[in-house]
């Protein structure tokens, strides 16, 4: 049986990137914890703006992302708007693009800001913005998709990964969507063929001569569709709300929704594509706080990093060192391994990941100086096994207690 305090901590672990230990200790009820975690009224410092790169080498230097990454990590640790940070990460993984192929920190950071702007707003607006986003156009070869030489990568992934899900479209639909999405170019300031007077550097634009303006039939709809017309067709499909709503449910609850629950979540979502409406429909279900839902997710390395910094009282995180450790662990922001996003679940429980979890402490300037039970509570763990408590209690100092708590089975799951 899950205790009342563990259930409150569960709500916070699911709706935030860390454990929010101060809220977990103080919240009088699940409802109070939910009200805090869903509160978007708390002010947040503005994100950094990247200065224009001096030359092409500077434009490709990953170090340009150090300050933005530090700001982002601080937002996760500070937890001003927990649900916003959870959803920023959810959509970052959902619309995965990687610096290893995009090779432009400016494009990657612009995409992050686009996701952040829409993360708690309209999924329709987010999907339209991502479809013409420069990082996405480069990552999924949209810039190579022309009327003369079709590239189907984005068309396939936007249906399989971002909207409908596998099995809900045909190859003919992929061809039609690719034709509709053809002709887009990204203005890269040091690549002469992409420059256009009056166009903002790193923004995208349509070149009519490269676009296939012919009639297409997509998912039963026929017209001379362009990119945004095709996105509207995808948003018309009931399956989009069901696929994305089910993924949100799995992320927040940790369980597959039953048919009735999915019907309700999809209906709330599709009404006006409000992301928060879908979230509220999910967290209001009995399944969200059920015993079966508690600790069904494996914590990712990034979530462990944030939990560690929060456990240590909001300790500063060294962004450069965090980047290095998270790369070793396969979970560095801006570097997903493929368009499907980051590894999850049991894939995170191998010996490599468990051993290198302890390296996260090299990126956090602090430790938990408390008794064993309080140390585990700082990680959002209140219902702990006797074996775990004994192991942490046997540590000779605060640093070792912190390490043992970080590596415990309770902290491994959220």
pLDDT, averaged per 10 consecutive residues of the chain (414 residues), comes to 97 97 96 97 97 95 97 98 98 98 98 98 98 98 98 98 98 98 97 92 97 98 98 98 98 97 98 98 97 96 98 97 97 97 92 90 95 96 97 96 96 95
| In a shared domain, residues 98 and 78 | yes
- What's CA 41's distance to the chain center, in Å? 21
| In a shared domain, residues 278 and 308 | no
DSSP string spanning 300-364?
PHHHHHHHHHHHTTS--B-HHHHHHHHHHTT--TT--SSTT-S--GGGG-SHHHHHHGGGGGGGB
Boundary of a domain, candidates 188, 212, 236: 236
Residue of 349, 360, 393 whose CA lies nearest to 375: 393
- The Cα–Cα gap between 322 and 344 comes to 19
Is 310 among the domain residues? yes
Name the 3-class secondary structure at 96. Answer: coil
Helix axes 4-15, 30-37, angle to 10 degrees: 20
Cα atoms in the Cβ-side hemisphere of radius 13 Å centred on 5: 16
| In a shared domain, residues 364 and 389 | yes
Is 318 among the domain residues? yes
**Domain limits at 320?**
297-412
pTM of the model: 0.97
Residue count of the chain, please give it.
414
- The Cα–Cα gap between 304 and 312 comes to 12
Boundary of a domain, candidates 293, 316, 333: 293
* Contact status, residue 313 vs residue 366, Cβ threshold 8 Å: yes
Is 42 among the domain residues? no
| In a shared domain, residues 247 and 109 | no
From residue 310, alpha-carbon distances to 4, 99, 167, 185, 294 in Å are 21, 28, 42, 42, 20
Boundary of a domain, candidates 236, 252, 280: 236
Name the 3-class secondary structure at 384. Answer: coil
| In a shared domain, residues 201 and 66 | yes
Bridge partners (DSSP) listed for residue 205: 185
| In a shared domain, residues 208 and 279 | no
User: Which pLDDT score is estimated for 355?
Assistant: 85
- What's CA 311's distance to the chain center, in Å? 22
Is 81 among the domain residues? yes
From residue 103, alpha-carbon distances to 49, 63, 126 in Å are 18, 12, 23
Is 91 among the domain residues? yes
Is 29 among the domain residues? no
Residue of 176, 170, 168, 136 whose CA lies nearest to 154: 136
- The Cα–Cα gap between 392 and 371 comes to 9
- The Cα–Cα gap between 95 and 339 comes to 7
In which residue are the tokens 């006797």 written? Answer: 386
Task: Please give the backbone phi and psi of residue 206, each rounded to the nearest 5 degrees, phi first.
Answer: -95, 135
- The Cα–Cα gap between 205 and 138 comes to 13
| In a shared domain, residues 226 and 88 | yes
Is 41 among the domain residues? no
DSSP 400: H
| In a shared domain, residues 72 and 211 | yes
User: Which pLDDT score is estimated for 364?
Assistant: 97
Cα atoms in the Cβ-side hemisphere of radius 13 Å centred on 399: 8
DSSP string spanning 197-250?
TTPPTT-EEE-GGGS--S-EEETTEEE---HHHHHHHHHH-HHHHHHHHHHHHH
- The Cα–Cα gap between 144 and 117 comes to 27
| In a shared domain, residues 228 and 255 | no
Bridge partners (DSSP) listed for residue 364: 317
- 228's tokens: 């945004």
| In a shared domain, residues 272 and 309 | no
| In a shared domain, residues 187 and 113 | yes
Total domain count, the chain: 3
* Contact status, residue 397 vs residue 365, Cβ threshold 8 Å: no
Q: For strand 184-186 and strand 204-206, is the pairing parallel, antiparallel, or unpaired? A: antiparallel
Is 149 among the domain residues? yes
Cα atoms in the Cβ-side hemisphere of radius 13 Å centred on 309: 27
What lies within 8 Å, CB to CB, of 215 at 6+ separation is 222, 223, 224
User: Which pLDDT score is estimated for 165?
Assistant: 98
User: Which pLDDT score is estimated for 350?
Assistant: 87
| In a shared domain, residues 67 and 80 | yes
């Amino acid at each position: 049986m899950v205790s009342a305090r563990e259930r409150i901590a569960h709500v916070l672990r699911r709706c935030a990137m860390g454990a929010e230990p101060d809220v977990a200790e103080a919240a009088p009820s699940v409802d109070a914890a939910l009200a805090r975690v869903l509160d978007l009224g708390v002010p947040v410092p503005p994100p950094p703006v990247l200065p224009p790169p001096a030359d092409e080498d500077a434009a490709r230097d990953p170090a340009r992302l150090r300050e933005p990454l530090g700001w982002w990590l601080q937002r996760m640790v500070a937890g001003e708007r927990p649900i916003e940070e959870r959803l920023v990460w959810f959509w970052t993984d959902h619309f995965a693009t990687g610096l290893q192929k995009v090779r432009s920190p400016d494009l990657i950071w612009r995409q992050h800001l686009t996701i952040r702007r829409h993360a708690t707003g309209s999924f329709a607006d987010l999907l339209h913005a991502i479809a013409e986003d420069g990082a996405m156009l480069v990552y999924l070869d949209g810039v190579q998709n022309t009327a003369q030489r079709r590239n189907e990568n984005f068309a396939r992934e936007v249906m399989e990964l971002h909207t409908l899900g596998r099995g809900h479209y045909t190859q003919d639909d992929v061809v039609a969507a690719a034709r509709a999405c053809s002709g887009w170019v990204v203005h890269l300031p040091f690549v002469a063929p992409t420059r256009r007077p009056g166009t903002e550097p790193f923004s995208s634009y349509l070149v009519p001569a490269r676009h296939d303006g012919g009639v297409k039939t997509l998912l039963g709809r026929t017209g001379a569709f362009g990119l945004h017309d095709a996105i509207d067709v995808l948003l018309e499909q009931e399956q989009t709300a069901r696929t994305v709503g089910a993924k949100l449910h799995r992320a927040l609850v940790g369980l597959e929704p039953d048919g009735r629950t999915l019907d309700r979540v999809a209906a709330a979502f599709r009404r006006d594509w409000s992301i928060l409406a879908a979230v509220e429909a999910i967290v209001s279900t009995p399944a969200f706080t059920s015993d079966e839902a508690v600790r069904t997710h494996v914590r990712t390395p990034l979530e462990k990093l944030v939990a560690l910094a929060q456990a240590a009282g909001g300790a500063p995180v060294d962004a450069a060192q965090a980047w290095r450790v998270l790369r070793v662990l396969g979970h560095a922001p801006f570097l997903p391994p493929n368009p499907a996003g980051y590894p999850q679940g049991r894939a995170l429980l191998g010996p490599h990941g468990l051993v290198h979890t302890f390296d996260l402490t090299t990126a956090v300037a602090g430790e938990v100086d408390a008794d064993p039970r309080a140390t585990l509570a700082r990680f959002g763990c209140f219902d702990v096994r006797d074996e775990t408590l004994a192991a942490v209690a046997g540590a000779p100092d605060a640093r070792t207690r912190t390490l043992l708590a970080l590596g415990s089975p309770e902290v491994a799951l959220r």
